[in-house]
Chain A
Amino acid sequence: MAELTINDIIKEENLVYKKTKVMTDNVMHYCPGCGHGTTHRLVAEVIEELGIQDKTIGVTPVGCSVLMYNYLDIDMQEAAHGRAPAIATAIKRVMPDKFVFTYQGDGDLAAIGTAETIHSCNRGENITIIFVNNGIYGMTGGQMAPTTLSGMKAVTCPRGRDVNTMGYPLHITELIAQLPNVRFVTRQSVHTPANVRKAKAAIRRAFENQKDGKGGLSFVEIVSNCNSNWKMTAVDANKWMEENTFKEYPLGDIKIDWEIQEGKISLRNRKLDY
């Protein structure tokens, strides 16, 4: 048989993967290698697979992902900084048949929006929260966030985060997992093919939890990078994240169908840990 050329392979009938139609063709403004783009696409793929493009309403944050509504071809509402879960609460209560999600960074969700996060979770609103934790305020130039690692430098802690004066990295995800009305809590990443597959399955479950009538809030943390403010290449940032961030924020399911998974929540002992 004659040798196959690339053009013999690149044909419509041989297509196995391409960007979902739920993403628009707009070029995303993110820095090269930023996990926000990958996370957007996974949300879009789940929406496509569940066939809910016209039934989904997303609420976007303030932060680098503020313009997410330009990239997903669904109805979206922009919220004031940190207030996305409050807006999502209203949307879901007025339109309970819609799939409603928020997409928020760590500054948005775990700093300015802490009250909205905690109380929407405590009420167990039947929404999905996608929480992209890159341990920094990306959009505004790399200030320390509550999630910034101990010793990690940021423009507002140039000598590194000192846990004695600046607090410990805030495990908001483990905190909200302990609220009885919260149904599903997981922590994933999107920097390798295997992690992308797991993160997508988690996002899918978080959306499916809105349709079986059992209620409850689903919370998916994506531990991600901010190569620009970490001042690394994208590849180095992903490696740094594996070596450092994952130690502070281990990946895996924390709560499934209202059950905390064994060994997933441990209290930090200040004296022993540092």
Chain B
Amino acid sequence: MAKIRGAVKVDTEKCKGCSVCLGACPMGVLDLAKEVNGKGYNYCYMKDPEKCIGCASCAIVCPDGVISVYKVKVD
């Protein structure tokens, strides 16, 4: 059965750590890092990358447009 795997790439230097994407993710993939970026924001990262389905929900709600989404079909 074909399975979908996704992944997101966050432009961590431009992320403002607002957390809006965290609640938008249906799979609970995202979290804020303990570390901060150059602006002092805890940036978003994939805490649980295995669960990502590449649905782009996180990316379309990100006010700063810093998330890119990738998706593959695995047989």
Nearest CB of B to A71, in Å: 9
Partner among B14, B16, B41, B54 whose Cβ is within 8 Å of the Cβ of A16 = B54
A216 to chain B, nearest CB (A): 29
Closest chain A residue to B52 by CB distance? A9
Flag if A10 contacts B70 (CB, 8 Å): yes
Q: Which residues of A contact B23 (CB under 8 A)?
A: 235
Q: Answer whether A37 and B61 are a contact pair too, CB < 8 Å, given A6-B49, A16-B54, A234-B18.
A: no
Q: A9-B5, A19-B65, A23-B65 are in contact. Are A235 and B71 (CB under 8 A)?
A: no
Give the Cβ gap from A8 to chain B, nearest Cβ, in Å.
7
B57 contact set on A, CB distance < 8 A: 193
Residues on A with C-beta less than 8 A from B66 are 19
- Least Cβ–Cβ distance between A48 and chain B, in angstroms: 12
* Pairwise interchain contact A33-B20, C-beta atoms closer than 8 A: yes
Chain B CB within 8 A of A165 CB: no
Q: Which residues of A contact B59 (CB under 8 A)?
A: 17-18
| B72-A41 in contact (CB<8A) | no
The segment out of A24-32, A53-61, A170-178, A254-262 that lies at the interface is A24-32
CA distance A11 to B49 in the complex (A): 15
User: Closest approach, in angstroms, between the C-beta of B37 and any C-beta of chain A?
Assistant: 11
- CB <8 Å contact, B72 and A191: no
Question: B70 touching A37 by the CB < 8 A rule?
Answer: no
B69 touches A (CB below 8 Å): yes
Min CB distance, A195 to chain B, in Å?
8
- Evaluate whether A10 and B7 lie within 8 angstroms (CB atoms) in the complex, with A15-B68, A16-B71 already known: yes
CB distance from B9 to the nearest CB of A (A): 5
Q: Which of A154-205 contact B (CB under 8 A)?
A: 190-193, 196-197
Does B33 interact with chain A (Cβ within 8 Å)?
Answer: no
The listed residue (B41, B61, B71) touching A190 by CB distance below 8 A is B61
Residue count of chain B within 8 Å CB distance of chain A: 35
B36 contacts across to A, CB distance below 8 A: none
User: Which of the residues B22, B56, B63, B72 comes within 8 Å of A9, measured between beta carbons?
Assistant: B72
When distances are taken between beta carbons in the complex, the residues of chain B under 8 Å from A38 are 61-63
In the docked arrangement, what's the CA distance between A14 and B22, Å? 22
Cα distance, A17 to B17, chains bound together (Å) = 20
Q: Which residues of A contact B16 (CB under 8 A)?
A: 31-33
In the complex, what residues of B have CB within 8 A of residue A191's CB?
20, 61
Q: Determine the distance from Cα of A122 to Cα of B14 in the docked complex, in whole angstroms.
A: 42
Pick the contact of B70: A16, A27, A41 (CB < 8 A). Answer: A16
Q: A15, A19, A33, A196: which contacts B18 (Cβ < 8 A)?
A: A33
Contact with B along A216-258 (1 / 0, CB 8 A): 0000000000000000011100100000000000000000000
Residues of B within 8 A of A33 (CB): 16, 18-20, 63
CB distance from A222 to the nearest CB of B (A): 12
Bound form: Cα–Cα A17–B55 in Å:
9
Q: Decide if A193 touches B65 in the complex (CB within 8 Å).
A: no
Additional A-B contacts beyond A27-B14, A38-B63, A234-B19 (4; CB < 8 A): A10-B7, A32-B41, A37-B64, A38-B61
Interface set of A (CB-CB < 8 Å, partner B): 1, 4, 6, 8-11, 14-19, 23, 27-28, 30-38, 41, 190-193, 196-197, 233-235, 238
